[in-house]
A and B are shown apart, each in its own frame.
Chain A
Amino acid sequence: MEHAVEEKPVVHMGLPLSNGKLAIWLFLVTEIMFFTALIGVYIILRNGTPTKAEPWPKPHQVHLIEWIGALNTFVLICSSLTVVLAHSALGKRNVSQAVGFITITLVLGGVFLVIKAIEYKAKFDHKILPGYVYDRVDGDNGTEYYKQVLKDLEESDQIKIMIGLRDKFQQDNNKMPSYEELTELYSKKVGIPMTEERENRPSWLWYQMTRKGPERGLSAEEVAERVKKLVEEYPQRHLTEYIPFGNMWASCYFAMTGFHALHVFGGLVVFVIILIMAAMGRFGVQHESFVELTGLYWHFVDIVWIFLFPLVYLV
């Protein structure tokens, strides 16, 4: 006698999704919250504290060049394309092509970090660092700022020559030369007359700052104002600027772009591992899922930059 056997359908535990993909997405959503917190704090500081009199730093004040940010965005977009092409090639069982695309992605990620390093170097050179920016010019802060600008000015060859001429004039005549006398002596010595307007000359600022006797030197606020005009008209002159909220800007900039750069570096480490595996002949079509998950992480890094670029460089 035959018995009817009821066949129970096979039920799989979990989602119709690989464990790896679910895990990487869970990791990515924690990362979303991390960067949202950083960006949220930046938005609050950027919009909440500055006033019309003391605005948030403009990109040129903090030596930030917009087109470099745009270039880095383009580099990351290119790397996103190459990583997705690597995954596609591996799906078509073309391992060598996939390795080629991973290599290009690695190079592009490296280019991104090199550009970022050049940008960071400019910040270090100009001391746009947390705690180093002169963001106040009142009281002792003003005195410090005054000294710093004087030091910047006296580092130029022109001012060095003028200091020598001033001291000699003082020795010979027992009095300070007027600015006109000093510039005349300077022009005779170097053989080049000063043609630019007096207000636009760093030497005029230096002369006023060092003037002694009944005519007092400039206040720190006045120096800050003059330096601002000089830097606007002659960006090549490296004078320390007074930048309201400069320290806060630097903290936000380094926190956001620094954490992002660390994530880029993390991605590059994975790409290097893939290439080492390929060099050892241990990389193949069985790693399709691995490349896809690495790609998901890499695209997330791209997405973070897509928001950081307008926030830091443009808006």
Chain B
Amino acid sequence: MNQPEGAIMTEPHDSSPHHEGIAVKTYFLIFGALAVCTAISFLVNEGERHHMIGVYAGFAMIFAVAVCKVVLVGMFFMHLKLDWTRLYFVIVPVMILAVMMLVVLLPDIVLAWHHE
């Protein structure tokens, strides 16, 4: 393998500030937000079941809440708030591929509606 002159093959130094960048108080706040989000999802579902909220509006709200929860867990509990600049090149392509995988399957659903 070509190695630049002067390069050292060692365990790369992880210069991320780790947990020190996120206070324990913040963890508890995120936990509270996640618990509230779970309660919101459940209540929206109850509203939908009792016809107080439309099916599509309910779905949109529940999905939006799920995305918010994932962002909170990723950014704070998984430290992406601190490590994003070092990891985006791994995460972004996979997120694009994951969304594309779902999008390319959508015609099957649309065609199924068409046949109904």
Q: Is the CB of B77 within 8 A of A32?
A: no
In the assembly, what is the distance between CA of A258 and CA of B5, in Å? Answer: 51
Question: Across the two chains, which residue of chain A brings its CB closest to B104?
Answer: A40
Q: In the complex, which residues of chain A have a beta carbon less than 8 angstroms from the beta carbon of B45?
A: 66, 310, 313-314
Per-residue interface assignment for chain A, residues 286 to 307, with 1 indicating a CB less than 8 Å from any chain B CB and 0 otherwise: 0011001001100110110011
Cβ contacts under 8 Å, A4 to chain B: none
Over the window 12-49 of chain B, the binary record of Cβ atoms lying under 8 Å from chain A Cβ atoms (1 yes, 0 no) is 11111011100010011011001100110110111000
Identity of the chain B residue whose Cβ is nearest the Cβ of A30 in the assembled complex: B94
Contact A40 B101 (CB under 8 A): yes
On whether the beta carbons of B41 and A36 are closer than 8 Å, the reply is: no
Q: Does A88 contact B (CB under 8 A)?
A: yes
Interface of B is mostly: helix
Interface string of A87-115 (1 = CB under 8 A from B): 11001000000000000000000000000
A112 to chain B minimum Cβ distance, whole angstroms, is 14
B73 and A306: CB pair below 8 A?
Answer: yes
Residue interface bits A4-28, CB-to-B below 8 A is 1, else 0: 0000111111111111011001100
Chain A residues with CB under 8 Å of B13's CB are 12, 16, 18
B45's nearest neighbour on chain A, judged by CB, is: A314
Residue of B whose beta carbon sits closest to that of A300? B78
How far apart are the CA atoms of A182 and B67 in the complex, in Å? 59
Majority secondary structure, A binding face: helix
A85 located at the interface, meaning its Cβ lies under 8 Å from any Cβ of chain B in the complex:
yes
**Of A8, A12, A88, which contacts B10 at CB under 8 A?**
A12
Whether A306 lies near B59 (C-beta < 8 A) is: no
B98 x A32 contact (CB < 8 A): yes
Give the residues in chain A near B46, CB-CB below 8 Å: 66
Q: How far is the CB of A94 from chain B (nearest CB, A)?
A: 12
A37 in contact with B101 (CB, 8 Å): yes
CB distance from A89 to the nearest CB of B (A): 9
Q: Is the CB of A15 within 8 A of B102?
A: no
24 A-B pairs within 8 Å (CB atoms) are namely A9-B6, A11-B7, A13-B8, A14-B12, A16-B12, A17-B16, A18-B12, A18-B13, A21-B14, A25-B91, A40-B105, A44-B105, A47-B109, A66-B45, A67-B42, A70-B38, A81-B30, A85-B24, A88-B19, A292-B19, A292-B79, A300-B78, A310-B45, A314-B44
Question: Closest 9 interchain pairs by CB?
Answer: A18-B14, A48-B112, A14-B12, A36-B98, A29-B94, A314-B45, A8-B6, A81-B31, A11-B7
Which A residues lie at the B interface, using CB under 8 A?
A: 8-19, 21-22, 25-26, 29, 32-33, 36-37, 39-40, 43-44, 47-49, 51-52, 66-67, 70, 73-74, 77-78, 80-81, 84-85, 87-88, 91, 288-289, 292, 295-296, 299-300, 302-303, 306-307, 309-310, 313-315
11 more A-B residue pairs beyond the given contacts A32-B94, A70-B41, with a C-beta to C-beta distance below 8 A: A10-B6, A12-B10, A13-B8, A16-B16, A17-B14, A18-B11, A29-B90, A77-B38, A87-B19, A91-B18, A314-B45
